[in-house]
Structure 1
Amino acid sequence: MALNIISNYAANLAHRNLLASDASATRSLAKLSSGTRVVSARDDAASMAIGARLNATAQALKTATVNVGQANSMLQIADGGMATIDDILVRMKTLAVQASSGNLSDTERGFLNDEFTQLRDEIDRISSSTNFNGIQLLGDGGDVSVNYANLNSAGLAEDLSPANGFDSIGITDNNYWATDANNNGVTDNQFKLHFVKVGNTVMLNVFTTIDGATDREQSIDVTDFATGGTRALTAGEKTTVNFDELGLTFDLNHNISTIIANAITLGSDGAGADGYATAQVIGGGATVGDNSTVQMLADNGQKLSDNISFQIGAGNTSNDRLAISFQSVDSSALGSGATGTEDGLDDLGANAISTAANAQNAVEVVTRAIDDLQRARANVGTYQNRLDFAGQNLATMLENVEEARSTLLDLDVAAEMTNFTSKQILVQSGVAMLAQANQMPQNLLRLLQG
């Protein structure tokens, strides 16, 4: 090879090889530091594409596994609530059987009936309040309240004011007032209140309207609250009147004593507390109770869904979802039988076991209610077992998907370390040879000096 001053072919060649060796060593170092065989598409475009899809599937399967766990937790909460209701039903049947016996008087049956109806209310409370993250599991979660915007104003309910003895109104049975069979909201659920005089007795009557139709009526004797009565209220005193059959309570203040006294003094039989000939409330109004009509606010509670769909797969097909159906276990559903046509617990009314005949009928209804509850629990148990198998399948799929992704993308560290060592040696050799190549032009100086 000719010696020349302008070009140094050997140095250029050594430099090019050094750059290539350094680039290879850098890529090898990147793989070792990241732990993956495919750092970029240049390494293996096909493997990167497949691996990306497998990685997305693996992450989705992990989330689906969490969903299965949450679904099982939801069902466990539902089963726990139904287990408590089962205990209540056993107690209710015990009470019904006891009340069916002829050795009891009506007084003892009354005691048993009080507990029976209270337990029925507790079933409704449990079914209404049992939820998972706001999702109802055992029945509608009605959250109904009195429309206070209509109270103490012109028109509706203007007579139900503190000046007339009414401090506040409470709802004790959400399930009853949340009824909305015609799916137009609960604003057509109302009640109206008035006093009626019968002899020297004053009755406080309340009529309820559900879905626009008159539904229930309950009367309470309030004569003793009149001024001079045994239960008359003084300034600052309050009392609560509970209309348990209607799911309502009224907090009364001392002004009610004057209203009742006026009804006794001024009213005639069938007249209202204001002395009018018709049974009106304290103030005026052309129709009985039109100045004491109270509407319910729209139901803001959660409804029991027919089914809830859980995503238990990584795809978007019907096979990747599981729809779990839930059955209502409140007092209106329990006892209605498999066909839903029999009388339920709520159809027993307020005097469910107050007589031997009623108690004997209640025994049958409670027995059906227990069977209805067991069907609902069996339904939950079936889905729990199915979810367990779905979870096992997800775990197996996740294991295999991650293995496939590992085969494509994970780095064989031992093999790559061997490759990196080789590249390092080439880099070091390249640096040494480039230094030697740069020394070759020094031979020209000897020629020039000669």
Structure 2
Amino acid sequence: MSLSINTNLGALNSSRYLSATTSDLGRSLERLSSGMRINSAKDDAAGLAISGRMTSQIRGLNQASRNASDGISMLQTADGALNSMTSAIQRIRELSVQAANSTNSLSDKKALQEEVNQLIQEIEKVSTTTTFNGDKIFDFSGSSVLGNSDQLAVMYGLQNGWLEDAESKIQQYFGISADGADMNIELTTFTDGAGGTAARVVGSIPGSYTGKATNVKLQIDMSDFTPPNLPDGGNAPFYNDRIIAHEMVHAVMYRSMNIGSMFDPAADQKWFMEGAAELIHGADERLQSSISSVGVGGVMARAATFGSAGAAWGGTSDDYSAAYSAVRYLHQVIKDNGGSGIKDVMVYLNQHQSATLSDAINAATGGLYANADAFNADFVAHGAAFIAGMNLTDTDTGAIGGANADGGAIQTATSVIPDTSSRSGTNPLSGFNEIWENISAAAAGNNKQLQVGANKADTLDVTLGAVNTAAMSIQNLDLVNNAGFATYMMDLALNHISEERSKIGAQLNRLESVITNNNISVESTVASRSRIQDADYAQETTSLTKAQILQQAATAVLAQANSSPQMLMALLK
């Protein structure tokens, strides 16, 4: 190894190590003083990028939790408003029940109505002015979400009297009941317009024309059921409850006997179905109108088309008059022969499920008529005289059990279907399982979008439905004339408010879950970021101590290296 003064390799080497050691010492001091493993991009470029994204996620989740908390506050405000509405509706219901009591005078009912009017105004005020942070909370569109007022009134009539009263009268005077099958009830609009078919019962008739009908539906034409003035509904003389009684005869016959045989085109017996349906509520008014229009001869001409020898059922008003007269005549013939009238025919058909109308007429008349055609022939021969003897000018409708048909009490257009119902609600019938059409409308609602996550798509829609008086169809309650309907509407309104509150409760619980989930995510992300970003003090203190010792050693060695050229001076002496 050569010796030189110009280049001190040992000093250069010692200086390099001292510089590296000093750098390590500085890095350890920086990490220990900041607590961070990554203080600049040069420390860990990838780690810095990852920890930066994690920081964004953490801060976004924390803000999302605050957003969810604001959403909870908004929903709590809405729930408080709905609670006050519930109290007002409960009070209105209480007043409507009070108004229904006949001990109240007209002035008493008007006083109750005044309080109801004030409560309705308060409900409207709460629903339209409740705000959170300056924004209105509830949707307050003018359309009803429960159904329009006419539909609701018809629904009320069906559920609180019309159906049950009709079924009760059919059971009493015809002796038949349905077998518990489903019956769909639909409020619709027929294509024939107002003044056409007001209601109808449809079903699937067996292809063999033997057996009961299936898929029974009661369809009501709202254009003919408006206005549905309660308790009878509609307009005189054929009030809605009389129309429903007519159709319920069809429905019960569909599910209590061999109805298929009456639809057999070889022996069309629909005249009996329609005549019996008219007899349950009486049709003297219709018969009188037909006589004024076409005369008794015209009515009897329609009767001549009944049965196997005639044409298919025509369905005109005169056809109904002829069918009603024929069944009234048959009713009287059976009674004159010691029977109970049409009830004997109905009971026979119910007890003998394979029997035809001819079988039943033969049995009920004690063999007087061999079949339905024999009866038709007799009625065509003697029906005009029978009709001439009917009292069509008094207030009795001619209904079975009434003054004209059976010598009973007078049954007027308003009393023929007695208001004696004891059941209410969605199952007023004992012989059918009613399936009601949903007449409620889907409200758009007031939608609030909450940002409940750290990313753009992490949103939650909170919808607050319409709860104003128009939406619940309670803005025009009349306790003076219709207290029962007011009670019905209050029940619907309470159900609607309860549904809205249940939605709010579910949304509150969901938002609380969102906050919990966000907090857990924040905790996990913070822990992950810590492993990447934070300094390990055990490791860094070890590195610091090592660097300090190496620095001291390097400094001492560098000093020795710097003095090594002085040894060469001895060679120059």
Q: Which amino acid aligns with 1:374?
A: S
For 1:140 and 1:20, how far apart are their aligned partners in 2? 75
Residue deviations 1:10-51 (CA, integer Å, cap 9, x gap): 222222211111111111222222222222333322222222
Residue deviations 1:62-103 (CA, integer Å, cap 9, x gap): 122222222122111111110111111111111122222222
The answer for the alignment partner of 1:43 in structure 2 is: 43
Matches within 5 A, 1:274-353: 306-317=446-457, 320-334=458-472, 344-348=473-477, 352-353=478-479
The answer for the alignment partner of 2:501 in structure 1 is: 377
2:137 touches 2:446 (CA, 8 Å); kept in 1? no
The answer for the alignment partner of 1:164 in structure 2 is: none
For 1:305 and 1:115, how far apart are their aligned partners in 2? 29
1:67 touches 1:311 (CA, 8 Å); kept in 2? yes
* Residue 359 (1) aligns with residue 499 (2): no
Q: Which amino acid aligns with 2:556?
A: A
* Secondary structure at the counterpart of residue 307 of structure 1: strand
TM-score normalized by the length of structure 1: 0.56
1:64 touches 1:313 (CA, 8 Å); kept in 2? yes
2:138 touches 2:465 (CA, 8 Å); kept in 1? yes
1:332 touches 1:347 (CA, 8 Å); kept in 2? no
1:62 touches 1:398 (CA, 8 Å); kept in 2? yes
Aligned-pair Cα RMSD in Å: 2.4
The answer for the alignment partner of 1:56 in structure 2 is: 56
1:138 touches 1:327 (CA, 8 Å); kept in 2? yes
Residue deviations 1:324-372 (CA, integer Å, cap 9, x gap): 21101111112xxxxxxxxx11133xxx33x2x2333322222211111
Deviation at 1:444, TM superposition (A): 4.6
1:312 touches 1:321 (CA, 8 Å); kept in 2? yes
* Secondary structure at the counterpart of residue 314 of structure 1: coil
In structure 2, do the counterparts of structure 1 residues 53 and 110 end up closer, same or farther at CA, with 3 Å as the change threshold?
Answer: same
Q: Which amino acid aligns with 1:90?
A: Q
Deviates more, 1:46-55 or 1:23-32: 46-55
* Residue 425 (1) aligns with residue 535 (2): no
In structure 2, do the counterparts of structure 1 residues 439 and 305 end up closer, same or farther at CA, with 3 Å as the change threshold?
Answer: farther
* Secondary structure at the counterpart of residue 87 of structure 1: helix
For 2:115 and 2:571, how far apart are their aligned partners in 1? 123
For 2:59 and 2:39, how far apart are their aligned partners in 1? 20
Deviation at 1:129, TM superposition (A): 2.2
In structure 2, do the counterparts of structure 1 residues 43 and 360 end up closer, same or farther at CA, with 3 Å as the change threshold?
Answer: same
* Residue 120 (1) aligns with residue 104 (2): no
Q: Which amino acid aligns with 1:393?
A: N
Deviation at 1:423, TM superposition (A): 0.8
2:140 touches 2:471 (CA, 8 Å); kept in 1? no
For 2:454 and 2:140, how far apart are their aligned partners in 1? 32
Larger Rg: 2
1:136 touches 1:305 (CA, 8 Å); kept in 2? no
Deviation at 1:110, TM superposition (A): 2.7
Q: Which amino acid aligns with 2:471?
A: A
Deviation at 1:2, TM superposition (A): 4.7
Deviation at 1:310, TM superposition (A): 1.4
Matches within 5 A, 1:128-143: 128-140=128-140
Q: Which amino acid aligns with 2:109?
A: R
Q: If each structure's helix is expressed as a fraction of its own residues, which one has the higher value?
A: 2
Q: Which amino acid aligns with 1:411?
A: A
The answer for the alignment partner of 1:389 in structure 2 is: 513
Deviates more, 1:91-100 or 1:42-51: 42-51
Matches within 5 A, 1:391-406: 391-406=515-530
> Which stretches in structure 2 are left out of the alignment for 5+ residues?
143-443
TM-score normalized by the length of structure 2: 0.45
The answer for the alignment partner of 2:23 in structure 1 is: 23
The answer for the alignment partner of 1:111 in structure 2 is: 111
For 1:140 and 1:29, how far apart are their aligned partners in 2? 65
For 2:140 and 2:560, how far apart are their aligned partners in 1? 89
2:447 touches 2:461 (CA, 8 Å); kept in 1? yes
Deviation at 1:445, TM superposition (A): 4.9
Deviation at 1:309, TM superposition (A): 1.5
Q: If each structure's strand is expressed as a fraction of its own residues, which one has the higher value?
A: 1
1:81 touches 1:130 (CA, 8 Å); kept in 2? yes
For 1:140 and 1:79, how far apart are their aligned partners in 2? 16
* Secondary structure at the counterpart of residue 388 of structure 1: helix
Deviation at 1:105, TM superposition (A): 2.3
Deviates more, 1:307-316 or 1:372-381: 307-316
Q: Which amino acid aligns with 1:419?
A: S
